[in-house]
Homo-oligomer: A and B are copies of this chain.
Amino acid sequence: MNGAESLIRTLVAGEVTACFTNPGTSEMHLVAALDRVTEMRCVLGLFEGVVTGAADGYARMAEKPSCTLLHLGPGLANGVANLHNASRAQVPIVNLIGQHATYHLRYDAPLTSDIEAIARPYSKWLRTSSRASEIGRDGAEAIVAARTAPGQIATLVVPADVAWSDGGAVAKIPAVPKRKLPSTESISRAVSMLRTGLPTALLLTGDALHGEGLKAAGRIATATGAKLFAPYPVTRLERGSGMPVVQRIPYMPEQAIELLREIPQLILVGAAPPVSYFAYPGNTSVLTSPECEIHTLASPGEDYVGVLETLAADFSPRSSKQSLNEKAERAPRPTGEITLQGLATAVGVLLPENVIVVDEAMTSGRGLMAATAGAPPHDWLGNTGGSIGIALPLAVGAAVACPARQVLCLTADGSAMYTAQALWTMARESLNVTTVVFANHTYAVLQREFSALGVGSPGPRAAELFDIGHPALDWVHLAKGMGVPASRVTSLDAFAKAMREGLESAGPRLIEVPL
């Protein structure tokens, strides 16, 4: 068995069974191995940002790593922006990056680059395999590193001759380090804070925001009156009717400061203290009030579910209803002209149960979370690292991870253009993704930031740099060009009809909503 095959077989043994890829010459032996190991599902992307964003979406929903397979330094570089987002999402990913044969590197052929240098900034684990007999073991260690809580990016660089040489051995997968409960002192401190009666919030992240972790957090909130917060850049939030109320900290600093002003006690469960995305002249970056006591109950990677369940057991419920989203009386479906509020309401009214919502709607999406709080239970995936161009790839990965569920991908037009190639993968794999493009023909967030920074009003040339409407992007043409059925809607009625059709049918759809 050559190195390549031992690596792929090791990955499958470690339950890594999806490979998102855009391979090149130096990865051909790995591709040949994929031919022989049919337990691995291969998903092709036409651009590497699709590949890495899909690996992120897959990990968020499957709660285990997939692997990417990328071509040398430039292929990796094309995937870096979404790896940045994935590293901020704290999800597990195993990157396989091809490299020239070891003896070829010295010639500095055109495609030679320092792959480790490109991978290092966001790879918590990074190694270049040095021989075929060890690459299985390297793969096994990469899986363990990726699965080590809270979820990490592990990058394995595979020289072509290591892949093609004989002597490969499938490796046993070592145990993943067990997540540890925080110290008793840390838990006691949180209990004391929750007993003061002062307004207190738990800022949750990772698996504290869905499943058993969220349920336990909900019991704490119910028993103590504490609020539950999520960071603005949320990896995965389970929400909807019957779920605990979790408020996302707003993106806009003034709104976040307003929310946090009332919170003299903040308990962090895996999360970092809230700060603004950007600095603004004369403003502080810290969003909590100076008097706020911030207690790190659980550091990143500690056992969030365990600690929340421990805490919840300490409190008996004060009320059984207080902190759960009530099932919304479903409002009548809005009709008439397109407005942002009307679109948000329509999404809230129409959202079926169990949908995975991917949200990169940017300025067009401000009303969406409020409008969907009481909709049937669903998952909400956000842009965790702020690098735009994540939504479509994330939707690809989520749909691959959960073939029985529908994905609703809400994206701004500017954002969607970074990685629009994902539409092709949706068509190729017949993924159940309904993409809604909010087409305001503008980098609207920049218009707002320009004023927020105190620069004044944009002059004609700045305004031109925010204007992506000349020429207008035609999303119906773009989608059809990549094999995705698409329509443009000009009323809320038409939007509702298209959204329902999309979520009821198999395969991808795209809806362009001109704003």
Check A414 for interface membership: any CB of B closer than 8 A: yes
In the complex, chain B residues whose CB is within 8 Å of the CB of A476: 481
Give 20 A-B contacts (CB < 8 Å), ordered by A residue.
A23-B465, A25-B453, A32-B450, A32-B455, A36-B459, A46-B417, A46-B468, A49-B78, A75-B387, A84-B113, A103-B285, A109-B277, A117-B117, A118-B121, A160-B278, A161-B279, A427-B471, A472-B483, A473-B481, A477-B478
Q: Which 10 A-B pairs have the closest CB atoms?
A: A471-B483, A74-B387, A477-B481, A35-B459, A77-B80, A478-B481, A101-B279, A104-B279, A74-B81, A107-B275
Partner of A44, one of B29, B281, B464: B464
Task: Please encode chain A, from 480 to 493, with 1 for each CB lying within 8 Å of some chain B CB and 0 for all others.
Answer: 11110000000000
Contact, CB under 8 Å: B278 / A25: yes
Task: Please encode chain A, from 37 to 51, with 1 for each CB lying within 8 Å of some chain B CB and 0 for all others.
Answer: 010001010110100
From 384 to 441 in chain A, residues with beta carbon under 8 angstroms from any chain B beta carbon are 384-387, 389, 414, 417-418, 420-421, 424, 427-428
In the complex, chain B residues whose CB is within 8 Å of the CB of A46: 414, 417-418, 468
From 71 to 105 in chain A, residues with beta carbon under 8 angstroms from any chain B beta carbon are 73-75, 77-78, 80-81, 84-85, 88, 100-101, 103-104
Complex-state Cα separation, A281 to B100, whole angstroms: 12
Check A475 for interface membership: any CB of B closer than 8 A: yes
Check A446 for interface membership: any CB of B closer than 8 A: yes
In the complex, chain B residues whose CB is within 8 Å of the CB of A23: 446, 465
Check A461 for interface membership: any CB of B closer than 8 A: yes
In the complex, chain B residues whose CB is within 8 Å of the CB of A474: 480-483
Contact, CB under 8 Å: A113 / B109: no
Contact, CB under 8 Å: A25 / B482: no
Contact, CB under 8 Å: B35 / A462: yes
Check A449 for interface membership: any CB of B closer than 8 A: yes
Check A174 for interface membership: any CB of B closer than 8 A: no
Q: Whole-angstrom distance from the CB of A31 to the nearest CB of chain B?
A: 5
Tallying the copies of this chain within the complex gives 2
Check A458 for interface membership: any CB of B closer than 8 A: yes
**Chain B: which residue is nearest A100 at the CB level?**
B279
Check A24 for interface membership: any CB of B closer than 8 A: yes
Contact, CB under 8 Å: A278 / B121: no
Contact, CB under 8 Å: A272 / B446: no
Instruction: Answer whether A481 and B470 are a contact pair too, CB < 8 Å, given A31-B450, A417-B421, A465-B42.
Output: no
Contact, CB under 8 Å: B121 / A424: no
Contact, CB under 8 Å: A418 / B78: yes
In the complex, chain B residues whose CB is within 8 Å of the CB of A285: 103-104, 107, 109
In the complex, chain B residues whose CB is within 8 Å of the CB of A108: 272, 275
Complex-state Cα separation, A103 to B284, whole angstroms: 10
